[in-house]
């Protein structure tokens, strides 16, 4: 840490109280999505008052699904090349410090406390209309940490959307758009085209763009924006591709193809899920675009050997077999179910603990769940006990699912485990990242 701070907190918890005393759109979900509520000028001003400039090279990642994995794996590949690499992600699972890492290590409690103090000092200089949100403060603190720790690269994940997201103050060397599907429709729009326009807001003039396979409506928007910006666009399935050669409960063997890889590059990874293969491909293509091929491919092999991602198709019990995943829209739930089926071809059946947030597409997720099991335990994530699970139960009944309601999440996990053991079922805990957090914090 560098610089003199005038705002001092008694302890870390007091600093966090200050951080969360501002508007937090991760928990307050009723605000209009407009430049008044999501204002890049606030973040720029905050950074200026903190004396922070972007002294590092950056990769900016947007999308609906796969952002977190793509951000952290890309950062891991950069670290494998010997770069001091920062990563900024959200939300966190069990510790707020997970959001800001360097070479995989969370920011320390003293450093985060001091940086919140530095941010607080800057906030004192701002007019009322320029007071930041909690996420804007997180963004500025991450940038300040990366600058003071002299990182070479930082991989920055958007919070929501892209165009108006506070992270969009970054000047990237490359942007990545992961899979786009329906989520945050009240903010980003009710069509894939509208959602894609918000994600495409991170595309910059002349800066390369790497994109996942997209629905046609979203793909057209990205192509148009990239062409307008003169940004070279590389699309999974067209310009590069990946296939799964083998999958098991211990990981995957995959083959990556691009114009630069003849024959295809063979890789091994510990992470599970067919949907993760696409994220891996985005990361490798990112490295190929930025670095000499041999260096990029060596870094990919090295990073994938040890990479894991909490909350994305993790096995939390073996007997009975229980998976946990933060799927929270229709598309991600369909992909989760398909991946688990592929991993467990001999399963005699499945049971699901479903703990979603109220503002998500619960009906869409239930329709996906119904394809794999009629058995459902409904609960609320421990951090969101106010969720109306009775309403979720009504939707489950409409979907034709046999439901059990257990408001206490810990008891629901115990009940799922007992049911799976007794009936020889594979368990799935899903519906939100907050449900995942409830599992890992037990």
CATH no. for residue 407?
A: 3.90.190.20
**Based on the domain organization, do 265 and 326 belong to the same domain?**
no
Q: Is residue 113 part of a domain?
A: yes
Tokens of 368: 């996906």
Task: List, edge to edge, every strand of the sheet that includes 314-317.
Answer: 314-317, 322-324, 426-430, 350-354, 375-378, 402-405
Whole-number pLDDT of residue 292? 95
Q: Which of 263, 279, 306 is the last residue of a domain?
A: 306
Residues 245 and 212 in one domain: yes
pLDDT at 255: 97
Which candidate, 86, 85, 118, 80, places its Cα nearest to that of 99?
86
pTM score, whole prediction: 0.93
Q: Which helix (H) or strand (E) holds 253?
A: strand 251-257
Extract the residue ranges of the chain whose pLDDT is less than 50: 1-5
349-400 pLDDT tens trace: 999 999 998 878 899 999 999 999 998 999 998 877 777 899 999 999 998 8
Q: Is residue 1 part of a domain?
A: no
**pLDDT recorded at residue 387:** 79
pLDDT at 3: 45
Which H/E stretch holds residue 353? Answer: strand 350-354
Shared domain check, 246 and 162: yes
Q: Return the bridge partners of 353, or none.
A: 377, 429
Query: Rounded distance, CA 221 to CA 431, Å?
Result: 29
Q: Read off the CATH number of the domain in which 100 is found.
A: 3.40.1190.10
The two three-digit tokens of residue 48, written as one number: 């200026």
Residue 213 shares a structural domain with residue 175: yes
- Residue 336 and residue 281 share a domain: no
Beta bridge partner(s), residue 236: 240
For residues 435 and 326, the answer to whether their CB atoms sit within 8 Å is yes
Whether 101 is in a domain gets the answer yes
Tell me which residue range forms the domain holding 407: 314-440
Instruction: Give the CA distances from residue 186 to residues 24, 120, 136, 340, in Å, rounded to whole numbers and listed in that order.
Output: 16, 31, 20, 30
The domain total for the chain is: 2
Shared domain for 44 and 137, answered yes or no, is: yes
pLDDT digits (tens, 9 = 90+) for 88-138: 999 999 999 999 999 999 999 999 999 999 999 999 999 888 889 999 999
Residue 111 lies in a domain: yes
Q: Is residue 2 part of a domain?
A: no
CA distance 197 to 118: 35
Query: What secondary structure letter does DSSP report for 53?
Result: -
Using only the alpha carbons of the chain, give its radius of gyration: 22
Strand order in the sheet with 265-269: 241-248, 251-257, 265-269
Rounded Cα–Cα distance for residues 148 and 111 (Å): 10
Range list of H helices, 230-307: 274-290, 293-306
**How many angstroms separate the Cα of 294 from the Cα of each of 258, 273, 299?**
13, 27, 9
Say if residue 354 is in the same domain as residue 292.
no
Residues 159 and 27 in one domain: yes
């Amino acid at each position: 840490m560098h610089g003199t701070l005038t705002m001092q907190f008694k302890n870390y918890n007091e600093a966090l109280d200050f951080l969360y005393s501002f508007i937090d759109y991760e928990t307050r979900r009723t605000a209009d999505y407009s430049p008044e509520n999501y204002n890049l000028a606030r973040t720029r001003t905050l950074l200026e008052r903190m004396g922070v400039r972007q002294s590092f090279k950056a990769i900016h990642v947007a999308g609906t699904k796969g952002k977190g994995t793509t951000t952290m794996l890309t950062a891991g590949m950069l670290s494998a090349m010997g770069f001091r690499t920062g990563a900024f992600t959200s939300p966190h699972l069990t510790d707020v410090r997970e959001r800001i890492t360097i070479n995989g290590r969370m920011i320390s409690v003293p450093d985060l406390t001091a940086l919140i103090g530095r941010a607080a000092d800057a906030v004192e200089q701002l007019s009322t209309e320029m007071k930041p949100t909690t996420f804007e403060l997180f963004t500025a603190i991450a940038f300040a940490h990366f600058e003071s720790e002299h990182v070479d690269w930082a991989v920055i994940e958007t919070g929501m959307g892209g165009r108006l997201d506070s992270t969009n103050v970054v000047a990237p060397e490359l942007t990545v758009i992961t899979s786009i599907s329906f989520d945050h429709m009240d903010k980003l729009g009710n069509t894939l085209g509208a959602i894609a326009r918000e994600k495409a807001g991170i595309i910059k003039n002349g800066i390369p763009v790497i994109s996942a396979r997209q629905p046609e409506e979203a793909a057209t928007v990205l192509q148009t924006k990239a062409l307008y910006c003169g940004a070279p666009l590389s699309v999974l399935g067209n310009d590069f591709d990946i296939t799964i050669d083998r999958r098991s409960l211990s990981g995957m063997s995959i083959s990556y193809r691009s114009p630069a890889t003849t024959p295809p590059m063979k890789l091994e990874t510990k992470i599970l899920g067919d949907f993760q293969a696409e994220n891996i491909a985005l990361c490798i293509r990112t490295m190929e675009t930025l670095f000499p091929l041999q260096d990029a491919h060596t870094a990919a092999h090295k990073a994938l050997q040890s990479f894991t991602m909490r909350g994305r198709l993790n096995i939390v019990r073996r007997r009975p077999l229980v998976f946990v995943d933060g799927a929270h829209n229709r598309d991600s739930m369909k992909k989760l179910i398909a991946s688990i089926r592929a991993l467990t071809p001999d399963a005699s059946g499945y049971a699901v603990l479903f703990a979603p947030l109220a503002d998500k597409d619960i009906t869409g997720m239930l329709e996906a769940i119904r394809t794999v099991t009629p058995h459902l335990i409904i609960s609320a994530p421990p951090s969101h006990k106010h969720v109306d699970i009775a309403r979720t139960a009504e939707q489950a009944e409409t979907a034709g699912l046999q439901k059990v309601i257990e408001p206490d999440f810990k008891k629901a996990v115990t009940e799922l485990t007992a049911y799976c053991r007794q009936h020889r079922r594979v368990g799935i805990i899903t519906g939100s990242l907050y449900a995942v957090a409830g599992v890992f914090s037990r």
